Chains A and B, each alone.
Chain A
Amino acid sequence: MKWDEFFVTGDPLIYGADVAIAVTVLAIVSVLTYFKRWGWLWREWLTTVDHKKIGIMYLISAILMLFRGGVDALIMRTQLAVPNAGFLNSQHYNEIFTTHGTIMIIFMAMPFLIGLMNVVVPLQIGARDVAYPYLNAVSFWTFFMGAMLFNISFVIGGSPSAGWTSYMPLASNELSPGPGQNYYLLGLQISGIGTLLTGINFIVTILKMRAPGMTLLRMPIFTWSTLVTSIIIVFAFPILTVALALMTFDRLFGSHFFTLSGEGLDMLWANLFWLWGHPEVYIVILPAFGIFSEIISTFSRKTLFGYKAMVYSMIIIAALSFLVWVHHFFTMGTGALVNSVFSITTMAIGIPTGVKIFNWLFTMYKGRIQFTTPMLWSLGFIVNFVIGGVTGVMLAMAAADYQYHNTYFLVAHFHYVLIAGTVFACFAGFHYWYPKMFGHKLNEKIGKWCFWLFMIGFNVCFMPMYFLGLAGMPRRIYTYDPESGWFSLNFVATIGAFLMGAAFILLVYNIYYSIRRQKPEVSGDPWDGRTLEWATDGAIPPHYNFAVIPKVTGLDAFWRLKKEKQRERIDDAILPIHMPSHSGKPFMMSVFFFISGFGLVFEWFWMGIVGAVGVLVIMILRSLECDKGYYVSVEEIKRDLSSIKQ
């Protein structure tokens, strides 16, 4: 292979990215070296097993990926703003919608939500960490390395271009030659390991590590949504693992699972992909429901209306989520019976979802509503999500779907549920729990500007797409004729996209501004919260979270404690706390995963084997390790407590 096949050449946009990456890496390295921060980075972050720090790293990665995926989106919207635009050629456009979709779902939405789960769930259930802190670090680093492997594709070797769904035979060696599609397969495979482990970790954490008195039906609703999501993850992700592996075999070892030759079945890929893909949709929406429930309850100053109905509807959604996958390919033509069955199961999901919408409304009914930034995002969610949901029911009708399929109507629909649902929830949760992570609130004024700009931009961008779809504009086309009549709506949509881009810049500016200007929180309870994450000692919890584990007597545990004025601490109750040791192995293991994945992308099998051996060696070393963690002494805990009181 020559060097100009290895690096992507000949495109000014890519050269610009090359320079930007080089400058960023250089800047990070020199800042770390100048301030002598390498040791700090290793000790405090790369080797940490603390769920709060891992959560923060997830969030930082997710925001970086939001930037990358967002830039992709703006490039696409620029190309589509006017007919016959020459900004991108068709191949480049294909690559960009592929990376946009993949990054936003796998490397932005999921890590953002998993980051919030990591920060919040152990605190909400009154635990000191997750059940398997070491595994949690493995989860993060495999996700991170998988994401990096996927992301370098656009400067080294070329990006995948078969769409985030990677349908066969388009994604086969014949129609997608080169390493691009391999990046997709291996990047997702490696990060999928991390996601699966997260699922197992949170199920056990939530089932076994709750504070005394917290029965299942006294758990905060975000914890419930995390539990249900984790169950879906555990049973859905192995399906993706297999599907990706089979396509990898097709591309690397000449097997015939999905190929046109050898009697392979291309639509079997679609079948397996959506067997995972539809549950995946609920993996990114259920935690969002949990976040909105917490926020709406807090800022309506009321207990969540219909708590049990919320829990049961989530469980029903989880079970149904595995029974609807065919609605993604009604047009495959599998027959009236199959399509009817999957139409009905799909519409059935609307019922528990509708129950939840009414519960949120009733929670606000007669509440003393505070219009904080997180609450604004939640209110915006209800309105916009309903639009997405109703158009979803339209798509669920198999016969009608033949009309909507593969048009911008579909694009509009899933952006209305994924942005108004998941992304709004990420922003809402980020503002809501930010003080718990960094000890100060984000600025409310900038936050509200950001919300309105984004909300308006979102509607300006995606509402026209419903009508473009009805006017027959297919998705994934890189340009269109002036005679098509699609110009004006496309132009409006592009304006909306840039408004959302501006709102993102405002969000980042808000972080910068708030670090410098916002006054520090001292109480640890900035919103007058209801659940245990606000009951920690100090604004930012110590690494062991609670000096003394609180006792739970009902739903909204912290609210009850505050009302019963039982917050006085009994110093005698403090006992030494057992905590897990830091470890560099998760990071190193993930580096080996990266090496192995990179080797396989270019079919350098020696390198794939070297990486795999590295992974195995680290696993063996971990197994032989005899590490029982360490104890935090009573004196140290008391020292921490007195420094908080000052």
Chain B
Amino acid sequence: MAKPQAAVQNKRTFPFKHFVGYLFSIVLTLLAVWVAFESELPAKVIMNVIYIFAFLQAALQLLMFMHITETSNGRIQTGTILFAVFIAITVAAGSVWVMSAGHS
């Protein structure tokens, strides 16, 4: 089987995307730890910031490592994950809201 053109061109390329992804995931993790323990921000702000970092890291994994947009199926794959995120936020935030409202 002949090697596909793209792979041949790839042969000597450095896995640039992967290194960037890895670097950023380390940096974001450390930043989150710093914000949580050292930043002296109000708890609510801290929570928002560390969740934003978490979503950024998730996006890094999807784009840099998992190649979510690859091939003609990329749009379906992206749509699936975006809808899943909508469901996840509904389930988690919705449950917390419903189960705590009226009790405080």
Interface residues of A (CB under 8 A from B): 207-208, 231, 235, 239, 265, 267-268, 271-272, 275, 322-323, 325-326, 333-335, 337-338
Contacts and interface: CB of A to CB of B under 8 A. Distances in A.
Nearest to B87: A235
Q: Which of A272, A275, A323 has most chain B Cβ within 10 Å? A: A275
A235 B83 contact: yes
Contacts of B8: none
Interface of B: 73, 76, 83-84, 87, 90-91, 94-95, 97-99, 101-103
A337 B98 CA distance: 10
10 contacts: A231-B83, A239-B91, A271-B95, A275-B91, A322-B90, A323-B90, A334-B98, A335-B102, A338-B98, A338-B102
A276 to B, nearest CB: 10
Nearest to B97: A338
A272 B98 contact: no
Contacts of B94: 275, 325
Overall SS of chain B's interface? helix
B73 to A, nearest CB: 8
Contact of A337 (B73, B76, B101): B101
Given A271-B95, A275-B91, A322-B90, 11 more contacts: A231-B83, A267-B99, A268-B99, A271-B99, A275-B95, A334-B98, A334-B101, A334-B102, A335-B101, A337-B101, A338-B97
Contacts of A326: 98
B84 to A, nearest CB: 7
Contacts of A235: 83-84, 87
B99 A333 contact: no
A66 B97 CA distance: 39
Contact of B76 (A207, A322, A325, A333): A207
Nearest to A268: B99
Contacts of B95: 268, 271-272, 275
A337 B97 CA distance: 11
A338 B91 contact: no
B77 to A, nearest CB: 11
B102 A333 contact: yes
A323 B103 CA distance: 21
A122 B73 CA distance: 20
A334 B76 CA distance: 38
Contacts of B73: 208
Contacts of A208: 73
A207 B79 CA distance: 13
A335 B83 CA distance: 29
Nearest to A338: B101
A326 B95 CA distance: 10
Q: What 4 A-B pairs come out closest when comparing CB atoms? A: A335-B102, A334-B102, A235-B87, A335-B101
Contacts of B103: 334
Contacts of A322: 87, 90
A57 B13 CA distance: 54
A267 B83 CA distance: 27
A411 to B, nearest CB: 25
A231 B83 CA distance: 10
A262 to B, nearest CB: 16
B50 to A, nearest CB: 24
B92 to A, nearest CB: 11
Contacts of A265: 99
B85 to A, nearest CB: 11
